Amino acid sequence: MSFQNLSCEVTDGVATVTVNRPEKLNALDARTIGELGACFGELAAAPAARVVVLTGAGPKAFVAGADISELAALSAADAHALARRGQALMDAIEHLGKPVIAAVNGFALGGGCELALACSFRWASDTAKLGLPETGLGLIPGYGGTQRLPRLVGSGRALEMILRGNMVTAPEALAMGLVNRVLPAAELMPAVATLAREIAARSTLTLRCALDAVEGGLGTDIAAGFRQEAGLFAVAAASEDGREGCRAFLEKRPAKFTDR
Q: Which residues are designated catalytic?
A: 114, 134
Beta bridge partner(s), residue 108: 63, 130
Question: In the 8-state DSSP scheme, what is residue 166?
Answer: -
109 Cβ partners below 8 Å, 6+ apart? 63, 64, 65, 129, 130, 131, 132, 133, 167
Single-letter code of the amino acid located at 60: K
HEC states along 167-201?
EEEHHHHHHHCCCCEEECHHHHHHHHHHHHHHHHC
Q: Is 80 helix (H, G, I), strand (E, B) or coil?
A: helix
d(CA 187, CA 129): 17
Q: What is the DSSP string of 34-71?
A: HHHHHHHHHHHT-TT--EEEEEESSSSEEEE-B-HHHH
132 Cβ partners below 8 Å, 6+ apart? 109, 110, 113, 114, 141, 145, 149, 161, 162, 165
d(CA 254, CA 260): 17
In contact, 70 and 116? CB cutoff 8 Å: no
